[in-house]
Amino acid sequence: MRCPFCGSENTGVKDSRPAEDNTAVRRRRGCDNCGGRFTTFERVQLREVTVLKRDGKRTLFDRDKLSRSVTIALRKRPVEPEKIDQLVSGIARELEATGDAEITSKDIGQMVMERLREVDPVGYVRYASVYKDFGDPKDFAAFIEDSALDE
């Protein structure tokens, strides 16, 4: 593993432990060259999934991008980082297990929306505002009314 600080390939594992409900391995690493310390995660990847975007472009599924978007939706909300990791890992596992080599960004967005609705209603609405491209405050009110979040 290359050191992110100095670029040296002379690094070693200092500690390993299970993470994300035993679906990943967290490794603390140290660089023998500069002394820098960093963390890596090792996960099982069943297959590569291609995402078909709205504009017709195709890209590989990026777990980190999904994690960033969910984290942004839940910023300053009372949701533990572990819960976010579980949510993202669950979606990634479901995508890989479908057997489909290609999935639309719309389908991924729907999966995220369903899970966010269960985790945090404010994060759900925040994500929806970007996903559904709200352009007016009335869009928020209509979405909340249609979603019946108060139930």
Give pLDDT tens digits along the chain (151 positions): 999 999 999 999 999 999 877 778 999 999 999 999 999 988 776 678 899 998 999 999 999 999 999 999 999 999 999 899 899 989 988 888 887 889 999 999 999 999 999 999 999 999 999 988 899 889 988 998 888 655 5
User: Is-contact 95 102, C-beta < 8 A?
Assistant: no
User: Is-contact 124 149, C-beta < 8 A?
Assistant: yes
Residue 64 shares a structural domain with residue 124? yes
Report how many domains make up the chain: 2
Residue 118 lies in a domain: yes
Residue span of the structural domain in which 4 resides: 1-44
Residue 57 shares a structural domain with residue 32? no
Residue 121 lies in a domain: yes
**Nearest-CA neighbor of 83 among 21, 151, 129?**
21
Residue 148 lies in a domain: no
DSSP structure class, residue 23: T
- Angle at CA 53, nearest 5°, toward 47 and 57? 90
Compute CA distances 70 → 11, 17, 76, 85, 90, whole Å: 32, 25, 12, 9, 13
Residue 123 shares a structural domain with residue 65? yes
Residue 141 lies in a domain: no
Q: Collapsing DSSP states into helix, strand and coil, what is residue 84? A: helix
Residue 55 shares a structural domain with residue 124? yes
